[in-house]
């Protein structure tokens, strides 16, 4: 059996519903994980997804901010919603797939603009969030896939300029160290780099600040798909759908898709 899982920080699912529909019609994943849906559960546009066969919907929303959702053609059973932000923000949802594999969809905070815990509390919240995830990961004993917007570009080749971004939130040494510790806590396999080894270019995010994102190609790899080694052994392909960044009214992120033979 082939299993195709997509993950996308959509930056408002209602504002960008048309490009989500286009992506689903073209790529036809079995499961779509969304981050930054920016909508309460009662206003989530579930009908559009159901019409395309995604009748199993687990949503964890929040008005105007954050929010995650898992839309699936396959039956899924909700497992948990962790408050790794420790303030009630809607940033995680976990389900169990047929066969027992767990799927975790997470949206790690961006962390503000100043990489200093004292001067910028948001940066401290981000580091604490990853620390709480790491403690959870250390105790994780199930075959698991973890996807989402991690808001950290860990490798030098994961950003357009390592030297220029060393002091920019998302690529600072302290964030990289925290994400590296999270990965090591359960031997997570980074599926992006498994299929597209460093130092190859593999960006997933481009700022809205540039009128033409392709001109300077100043991207970062902020979005990730990881799996425990037992699940990663069944992964057969991984793709970053970069052309979606040029679609009408795009998100600043693009979707990732991993295929598994399970």
Give burial (CB, 10 Å; 0-12/13-18/19+) of 234.
Answer: middle
Total of domains in the chain: 1
* For residues 71-83, average pLDDT: 96
Is residue 204 a part of any domain in this protein?
Answer: yes
Mean of all residue pLDDT scores within the chain: 97
Which phi-psi region, left, alpha or beta, contains residue 154 (left: φ > 0; alpha: ψ -120 to 50)? Answer: alpha
In a domain, 161, yes or no: no
N-terminal to C-terminal alpha carbon distance within the chain? 5
Residue 159 covered by a domain: no
pLDDT surpasses 90 at 92: yes
Residue 98 lies in a domain: yes
256 in a structural domain? yes
Query: SS3 sequence, 17-69?
Result: HHHHHHHHHHHCCCEEEEECCCCCHHHCCHHHHHHCCCCEEEEECCCCCCCEE
* Chain segment 99-156, per-residue pLDDT in tens: 999 999 999 999 999 999 999 999 999 999 999 999 999 999 999 999 999 999 999 9
Q: Is residue 56 part of a domain?
A: yes
Q: Is the dihedral of CA 53, 54, 56, 57 positive or negative?
A: negative
Confidence band, pLDDT 50/70/90 cuts, at residue 36 = very high
Range of the domain at 50: 2-110+144-152+189-261
CB crowding 177-213: b at 16 or more within 10 Å, else e: ebbeebbebbebbbbbbebeeeeeebbbbbeeeeeeb
- On the question of pLDDT at 64 being above 90, the answer is no
Confidence (pTM) = 0.97
* Ranges 60-64, 188-192, 219-223, 244-248: which has the least confidence: 60-64
The percent of residues in the chain predicted with pLDDT above 90, rounded, is 96
What's 204's domain CATH number? Answer: 3.60.10.10
In a domain, 234, yes or no: yes
């Amino acid at each position: 059996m082939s299993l195709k899982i997509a993950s996308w920080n959509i930056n408002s699912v209602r504002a960008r519903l048309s490009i989500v529909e286009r992506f689903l019609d073209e790529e036809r994943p079995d499961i779509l994980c969304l981050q930054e849906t920016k909508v309460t559960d009662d206003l989530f546009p579930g009908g559009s997804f159901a019409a395309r066969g995604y009748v199993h919907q687990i949503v964890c929303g929040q008005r105007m901010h954050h929010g995650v959702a898992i839309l699936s053609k396959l039956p899924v059973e909700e497992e948990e919603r962790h408050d790794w932000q420790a303030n009630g923000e809607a940033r995680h949802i976990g389900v169990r797939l047929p066969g027992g594999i767990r799927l975790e969809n997470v949206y790690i905070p961006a962390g503000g603009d100043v990489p200093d815990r004292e001067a910028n509390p948001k940066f401290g919240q981000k580091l604490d969030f990853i620390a709480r995830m790491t403690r959870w990961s250390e105790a994780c004993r199930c075959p698991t896939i973890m996807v989402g917007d991690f808001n950290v570009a860990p490798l030098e080749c994961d950003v357009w300029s390592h030297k220029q971004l060393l002091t920019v939130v998302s690529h600072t040494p302290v964030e990289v160290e925290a994400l590296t510790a999270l990965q090591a806590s359960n031997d997570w396999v980074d599926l992006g780099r498994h299929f597209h080894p460093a130092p190859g270019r593999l960006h997933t995010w481009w700022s809205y600040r540039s009128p033409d994102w392709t001109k300077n190609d100043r991207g970062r790899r902020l979005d990730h798909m990881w799996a425990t080694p037992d699940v990663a052994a069944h992964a057969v392909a991984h793709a970053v759908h970069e052309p979606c960044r040029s679609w009408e009214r795009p998100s600043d992120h693009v979707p990732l898709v991993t295929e598994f033979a399970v």
